[in-house]
Amino acid sequence: MTTFNLIKLHLEHPIVKITMSRPEKRNALSPELMDEIFAAFDSVVSDEDVRVIILTGEGNTFCAGADLEYLQKLSAFGAEENLADSRKLRDLLWKIYTYPKIVIAQVHGAALGGGAGLAAVCDMVFASDDSEFGYTEVGLGFIPALVSVFLTRKIGEQHARELLLSARKFTAEEAYSLGLINSVVSCPQLEEMVKGYALTVARNSGTAVAMTKRMLATTSGMSMEAALEYAASMNALARGTEDAVKGRAKFLTKK
């Protein structure tokens, strides 16, 4: 098992909980933390008994976004270094968005900037009623470049424009009304609720979940005709999987 310094990985089949563990820095996204989150996802991807990943943060904050101490160093970076650094976040967001297992964000406290981006790329997001969200980059002279791609897909351009350009912070209730999160949960009940939900969805076919996620990522941006043709080919492919054969037999037995 990989050794981690900035995250805690708790395996309890069928669930893995990945906890960002920089509470003194409000779990800010340093390059090292991003590397460890990436490695944690990789470490369990081949474990067929793992069906759900829960991503959360230690302490009073989910993730406050970029590490400001690290950002101060960026002025000394050249163009190639800045591009490589940007691609690190790109690769992490894409890893989570396309991960072949269900990924749930368990959000409490602040989810700001890149932290809000982490939540946005998860399959489901459950947030405590004291949570606060915000895409605060333009207020600091940065741009929410990578996050904007995923946020626009998730909540539509009109709402995304307002959030990204205003850099304002907003409540979990507003995040729910915009479709950014799935549910607002009383803070003391959040962990129990997320675990119960994770155990429920973990019963689904791992193969079917992986194929569905791949289909959703691939068809976004396609023309309707191309998307339907791709979906038809995926449908045909899925019918021959071992999980589908077992699922049909189980259904027919019940009938």
Question: Does one domain contain both 27 and 75?
Answer: yes
pLDDT in the model for residue 147: 94
Q: Is residue 28 part of a domain?
A: yes
Give CA–CA dist 59/200, Å, rounded: 27
Question: Does one domain contain both 240 and 182?
Answer: no
Question: Does one domain contain both 61 and 74?
Answer: yes
Q: Is residue 228 part of a domain?
A: yes
Asked if 80 is an active-site residue, the reply is no
Question: Does one domain contain both 185 and 234?
Answer: no
Question: Does one domain contain both 229 and 137?
Answer: no
Structural domain for 235, as ranges: 206-254
CA proximity to 44, closest of 93, 94, 7, 1: 1
pLDDT in the model for residue 116: 97
Question: Does one domain contain both 74 and 177?
Answer: yes
Query: Residues 44-74: pLDDT tens digits?
Result: 999 999 999 999 999 999 999 988 888 777 7
pLDDT in the model for residue 4: 96
10-residue stretch averages of pLDDT, the chain, 255 residues long: 90 97 96 96 97 98 90 81 89 97 98 96 98 95 92 96 98 98 97 98 96 93 91 87 75 66
pLDDT in the model for residue 237: 86
Question: pTM (2 decimals)?
Answer: 0.93
Phi, psi (degrees; rounded to nearest 5) at 167: 60, 20
Give CA–CA dist 250/248, Å, rounded: 5
Q: In whole angstroms, how far apart are CA 107 and each of 38, 43, 161, 177?
A: 19, 23, 23, 16
pLDDT in the model for residue 251: 65
Q: Which of 137, 162, 173, 225 is catalytic?
A: 137
pLDDT in the model for residue 148: 95
Question: Does one domain contain both 65 and 136?
Answer: yes
Number of domains in the chain: 2
pLDDT in the model for residue 1: 58
**Residue 155 tokens, joined:** 């909540």
